[in-house]
């Protein structure tokens, strides 16, 4: 693959760009969020992934605004509350994110999970489209959608365009899922690839639960890298945007040091396990 570094980006369907390495804030206490986000930005990260439900958007915004880095150089993501998803609650969610972060716009807003039923999902998407049209959001996407949810949204976008005109239904720019060698989600990844949707990977380190796996050890030894670095390099070479999380400065640094080696095609294939083993929740299977 072409040479990449921590500043490398992918072009989204919205026309905007997204850094290929993110810093995740799930389960990061608000009391330390400003400090660790500041450290991540100093390390070179330019992509911060939060959510309303994480309850750390305010310190994230503080770190971004105090960093001295131009706003256009930082990519910030938030997400709609997953279990109270309606048109009105999504509008409130967007306004809450803007108010708490103190930012003029949100780079990417995702529907956090497909819960609530078809009408709730449609209402949430419509609210995000309107927020994008108002300049409050730059790009839209979803998280934890199964293929059946993605098909449903694609159909709704067509209906919106038929009623309101071309381009008025919004565009799916990003999808975010738990992704790693033990949960590759080939059907979802293929759906996205055919439509140019950028795929983000949360839990790319499998919460550290697989660091001792035999398939990782030869690569750890060969490249003198940690299991975490091998997994992040795998994710990037798959074309994903991994979102590692840590509140430990040395690990934040380590997770960014993945650009001085490249896995071979055979090594990438050696990490294909064929397993479907989630270490987090899995709303993709919801039939709600």
- The residues carrying an active-site annotation are 54
Q: How far apart are CA 271 and CA 273, in angstroms?
A: 6
Nearest by Cα to 24 from 82, 78, 95, 80: 78
Residue pair 16/44 in contact (Cβ under 8 Å)? The answer is no
User: What's the CA gap between 148 and 286, in Å, rounded?
Assistant: 10
What's 64-95 look like in SS3?
Answer: HHHCCCCHHHCEEEEEECCCCCCHHHHHHHHH
Nearest to 244 by CA among 155, 197, 179: 179
Closest C-alpha to 24, from 153, 202, 266, 170? 202
Token output for 113: 């999970």
CA-to-CA distance for 252 and 94, rounded, in angstroms? 28
20, HSE (Cβ side, Cα atoms, 13 Å): 20
Task: List the end-to-end C-alpha distance of the chain, in Å, as a whole number.
Answer: 40
């Amino acid at each position: 693959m072409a040479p990449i570094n921590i500043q490398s980006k992918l072009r989204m369907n919205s026309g905007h760009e997204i850094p290929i390495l993110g810093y995740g804030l799930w389960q990061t206490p608000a009391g330390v969020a400003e400090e660790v986000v500041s450290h991540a930005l100093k390390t070179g990260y330019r992509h911060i992934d939060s959510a309303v439900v994480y309850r750390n958007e305010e310190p994230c915004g503080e770190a971004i605004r105090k960093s001295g880095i131009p706003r256009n150089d930082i990519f910030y993501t938030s997400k709609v509350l997953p279990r109270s998803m309606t048109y009105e609650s999504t509008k409130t969610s967007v306004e809450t994110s803007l108010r708490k972060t103190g930012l003029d716009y949100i780079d990417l807003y995702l529907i956090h999970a497909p819960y609530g039923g078809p009408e709730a999902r449609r209402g949430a998407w419509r609210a995000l489209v309107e927020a994008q049209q108002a300049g409050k959001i730059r790009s839209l996407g979803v998280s934890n959608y199964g293929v059946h949810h993605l098909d449903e949204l694609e159909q709704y976008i067509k209906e919106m365009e038929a009623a309101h005109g071309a381009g008025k239904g919004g565009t799916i720019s990003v999808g975010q899922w738990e992704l790693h060698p033990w949960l590759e989600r080939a059907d979802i990844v293929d759906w996205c690839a055919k439509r140019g949707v950028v795929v983000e990977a949360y839990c790319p380190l499998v919460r550290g639960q697989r660091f001792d796996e035999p398939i990782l050890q030869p690569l750890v030894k060969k490249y003198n890298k940690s299991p975490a670095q091998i997994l992040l390099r795998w994710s990037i070479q798959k074309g994903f945007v991994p979102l590692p999380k840590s509140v430990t400065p040395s690990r934040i640094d380590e997770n960014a040091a993945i650009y001085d080696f490249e896995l071979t095609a055979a090594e990438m294939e050696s990490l294909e396990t064929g397993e479907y083993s989630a270490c987090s929740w899995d709303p993709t299977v919801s039939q709600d």
